[in-house]
Structure 1
C-alpha cells in the first residue's frame, strides 16, 4: 500500500485543498452547532432552525466574517439537487394529483405575474433599468418556503396546505430558472423578445427535463426491483439526484424539473415496487438527514453573504420591490385561487388557506443563486444582487417569523402533539400485544414456568387496560383522531398491497407491476 500513500500525499499537502477543507469544516461546525442549539434550548424552538441559521449568518456578516464565497454554481449544482429531490421524494402523488391544477396555476402563471409586476413596478416607481427589472423579477419569482413547510409539519397544519405550498415551490423553481435564462439574453442585449420563440424554448426546456427525469426515474425503479441491497439503492437515489440535474442541464433541459420528476417517480413508484419497507425507511432517513445538512449550510451562508452597505445604497429600490412582491403575490394567490375554485369541482382552497399561501411565499436559495449568476459585465449587477438579497431577507425574517402567529390567528394550527400522543399509545398497545403473544407461545411450548408466565401476563394485561382507557379518553376529547386513524390505516393497507406486488416481482413470479386495486376502493379521508 505504500504506493497509494505516495500517490495521494501531494494532494493532501496541497495548500488550496487544506484551506478549502478548513473552511468547509468551519461552516459545518457553525451550522450544525446552531441547528443543534435550536433544539436544545426551549426559547429557540419557536424559531425555525433555518431562520436561526440565517440570523447567525447575518451576525457574522455584521462583523465582516466571511466563511466562504457563495457562488451560483455552489447553490445550483451542490445544494439545490438534494433539496429538490428530498421534497419530491416525500410528497405524495395522490395529494399532488388532487391539487395539480392550482399548483400548476401558481407555479406557471404565478411566476409570470410576479415577473410582470416587478418589471412594470420597478421601472415606473423606482426608475430601474429594463435589465434590472427583468432579472430581479425572474430571480424573485421562485418561492422557497422550506422554513414554513417545516413549521407546518411540526405544528400539524393541514396536509393539503403543505402540499400546495411544497408543490408550487417544486415546480416554480424550474419555471423561474427557465424564465431567468430566457430573460438574461434580453437583459444584456444579445436577444430580442419574441413570444413564439420564448414559448418554444420554454417548452423545450420543460419537455426535456420531464422526459429525462421520467426516463431516469422509471429506469432506476425497475432496476431496484432486481435486488435488495439498501446501501446500493440509497446510493442510486443520490446519484440520480445529481446525475439527473447535470445531464438535463448539459442537453439543454431544465435540471430542476428533471430532478423533481425523478424524485416524484422514485418516491411514489420506485420506492414501492423496488424497495422493501426497511429499505424505504433507510432511504427516507438518509434524505431527511441530507436535507437538514444542506439547509443548515445554505441558510448560514446566505446570511453570511449579505453586504449591508449595498442594502443601504439601494434601500429605496428594495422597499419598492418588497411592496410589489407582496401585491403581486396577493394577486397571483387570491386571483388564481379563485379561478381554481371556480374551475375545479373538488374542495375549494379556503380564504384562510390562501392567506397563508400568500404570506408564506418566501424567497431563498434559488433567488440568491440566480442573482449571483448575473454576468459581471452587466453594469447593474450589484443593484440586482442587493435588491434580491433585500427582498429575500424581508420575506425570510419578517414573513417567516410571523407565519406561526398568523396560523394561530386564522385557527389553522394543527393537532400534531395530540396525534403524536395517539400514535405513541397505539405503538405501546401493539408492542404489549406482541409481548402477550410471546408469553402465551412460551407457555404452549412449555419453555417457561406456567405460574411465572401467567403472572407476567396479568401485569401486561393490566397495562393494556390502562392504555385502552387512555386511548378512549383521547378519542373522546379529540373526535378528529378517528379520521386520522382511518387515514393511517388506509396508508398502511395500500403499502401492504404494493409491498406484496414487489415481493412477487423480486421473486421473478411477475414481470410487470400490477395496477393497485385498493387505491380507488378504500375511502380517502378529507
Structure 2
C-alpha cells in the first residue's frame, strides 16, 4: 500500500521518532545522542527487514523505503539541513584558537583531503579488483572523495563529550568545518569526469576548485559582515535572531545559485558572527537568545540527521551482497586517515604531543551524513550500488564504533574524565 506523505507529515514523523528515541536514550541507555539515535535507527531497520523475511506477504521495507526516498536524504541534507548545522557549529568555535592553528587547518582540510582521496581511491580500486568487481579507477576516486571529509556534525558532537585541549579542539573543529566543503568540491569535479567519461583535466579541475572554495569563503565573509553590521545597528533580540536566519538561508541559497561552495560560505559566516558578532554587535540578552536558539537548532537537526542515517539501512538492504566490501573498506579508510593526518602531525609535534593528537584525530575523524548524502546523489546504476553499500558500512562503523569510544580513548590518553554529555 502506498502512503502519500506531505513534507509536514514526514517532518512530524521524524521529530516524533527522534523525541521518543532520544527520551529512551536519556532515560535508559545514556549513550552519546548521535550514537544512540543512529544505533536505534539501524536496529529499527533490521527489524523491518526481518519482519519482511519472516512474513512473505509483508512489504514493510517497501513502505519505509518509500518514506525515506520521499524525503530525499541528499536534498534534505545538502540543500536544507547542512547550512544550519555548519553555521551552528561554527558559531561556537573560538576564532583566536582557530587563528593559531590556521596553517594546520588549511593543510589538513585541503592537502589532507586530496591525499586521503587518492589513498582511498587507489586502495578501493585494488580491493574491488581483488574481489572481482569491475569498478573503474575514476569511480574509486569518487568514493575516495565522498568518504574522506570528516563530518563536522559528527565531530562537533564528539568534541562536546571529550576533554581535548582547546587548541587541538579548535583545529579538529576547524578542519571538519572546512574539509567537508573541500571534499564536496573534489567530489563534484571527479563525478563530472566519471559520468562524462572524459579524461580529467587537472588545470580545469584546479580552476573549478579555486572558484568554488575561494568563492565560498568570500561570499561567507560578505554575508557574515552584512549580518554583523545589521545586528550592530539595533538591539532587539527577536530581529537579530531573524538576521542570523537570513544570513544562513539567504547566503546558502545564493551560494547554490552562484555555483560556489555553500558549506565553506556558512562556515566562514558562522565564524564571523560567532566571534565578532557576539563580542561587538550583541547585548547580553541578544547573545543569550541567539546562542541558545542555534544550540537548540543544532540539537534538533542532529537528532533527525543521525536517526535518518540509521534508518537508511533499509535502503541498502537490497545490496546485502556488497556489505562485505564495506567491511573490508573500513581499515582502508582508517589507514588513509592515519597517513593523511599522521605525516603533518609528526611535523607539528612541538605544537601538540603526537601520542595524543594522532589517535584523537585519526579515531575521532568521523564520517557521517555528508558522505551518505553524496553517495545517494550518484546517478542510478551498478557503480552507485557498490559505492552506497561501502559508504553506509563505513559511516555506520564510524558513528557507532568510533563515536561511541572516542571519549574513552581521550580519557585514557589524558588521564582525566571526559566531559559530561
Q: CA deviation at 1:147?
A: 4.4
Q: TM-score by structure 1 length?
A: 0.71
Q: What does 1:221-240 correspond to in 2, within 5 Å?
A: 221-240=228-247
2:126 to 108, 124, 127: 124
Residue 213 of structure 1: aligned partner: 220
Q: 1:234 to 1:349 in 2, by over 3 A?
A: farther
Q: 1:310 to 1:336 in 2, by over 3 A?
A: farther
Segments of structure 2 that go 5 or more residues without pairing to the other structure are 49-60, 130-134
Q: What does 1:113-192 correspond to in 2, within 5 Å?
A: 113-127=115-129, 128-144=135-151, 146-192=153-199
Residue 474 of structure 1: aligned partner: none
Residue 297 of structure 1: aligned partner: 304
Residue 96 of structure 1: aligned partner: 98
- Alignment of 1:392 with 2:395, yes or no, is yes
SS in 1 for 2:161: helix
**Higher relative contact order, structure no. (Cα contacts within 8 Å, ≥ 6 residues apart):** 2
Q: CA deviation at 1:313?
A: 1.1
For the pair shown, the structure with the greater C-alpha radius of gyration is 1
SS in 1 for 2:414: coil
1:40 to 27, 42, 50: 27
Residue 56 of structure 2: aligned partner: none
Q: CA deviation at 1:349?
A: 4.4
- Alignment of 1:409 with 2:412, yes or no, is yes
Alpha-carbon RMSD: 2.1
Retained in 1: the 8 A contact 2:162–2:406?
A: no
Q: CA deviation at 1:56?
A: 1.5
Aligned length: 395
Q: TM-score by structure 2 length?
A: 0.88
Segments of structure 1 that go 5 or more residues without pairing to the other structure are 1-14, 421-526
Q: 1:349 to 1:199 in 2, by over 3 A?
A: farther
Q: CA deviation at 1:186?
A: 1.1
Retained in 1: the 8 A contact 2:83–2:249?
A: yes
Residue 314 of structure 1: aligned partner: 322
Retained in 1: the 8 A contact 2:368–2:395?
A: yes
Residue 84 of structure 1: aligned partner: 86
Retained in 2: the 8 A contact 1:88–1:264?
A: yes
- Runs of 4+ aligned residues of structure 1 deviating over 4 Å after TM superposition are 414-417
Q: Distance in 2 between matches of 1:148 and 1:266?
A: 21
Q: 1:274 to 1:287 in 2, by over 3 A?
A: same
Query: Which stretch shifts more, 90-99 or 154-163?
Result: 154-163
Retained in 2: the 8 A contact 1:148–1:403?
A: no
Query: Which stretch shifts more, 254-263 or 330-339?
Result: 330-339
Q: Distance in 2 between matches of 1:288 and 1:141?
A: 27
Q: Distance in 1 between matches of 2:354 and 2:83?
A: 32
Q: Distance in 2 between matches of 1:170 and 1:244?
A: 16
1:28 to 15, 26, 29: 15
Q: Distance in 1 between matches of 2:109 and 2:297?
A: 25
Q: CA deviation at 1:60?
A: 2.1
Query: Which stretch shifts more, 85-94 or 146-155?
Result: 146-155
Q: 1:256 to 1:312 in 2, by over 3 A?
A: same
- Alignment of 1:271 with 2:278, yes or no, is yes
SS in 2 for 1:68: helix
Render the CA deviation track for 1:465-495: whole Å, top value 9, x for unaligned.
Answer: xxxxxxxxxxxxxxxxxxxxxxxxxxxxxxx
Q: Distance in 2 between matches of 1:311 and 1:409?
A: 38
Retained in 1: the 8 A contact 2:155–2:173?
A: no
Q: Distance in 1 between matches of 2:386 and 2:85?
A: 28
Q: Distance in 2 between matches of 1:215 and 1:100?
A: 20
- Alignment of 1:369 with 2:353, yes or no, is no
Render the CA deviation track for 1:145-195: whole Å, top value 9, x for unaligned.
Answer: 644543433354322232122111100010000001100111113542122
2:36 to 44, 49, 52: 52
- Alignment of 1:338 with 2:360, yes or no, is no
Q: Distance in 2 between matches of 1:409 and 1:222?
A: 45
Q: Distance in 2 between matches of 1:413 and 1:48?
A: 18
Q: Distance in 1 between matches of 2:198 and 2:415?
A: 47
1:356 to 325, 339, 360: 360
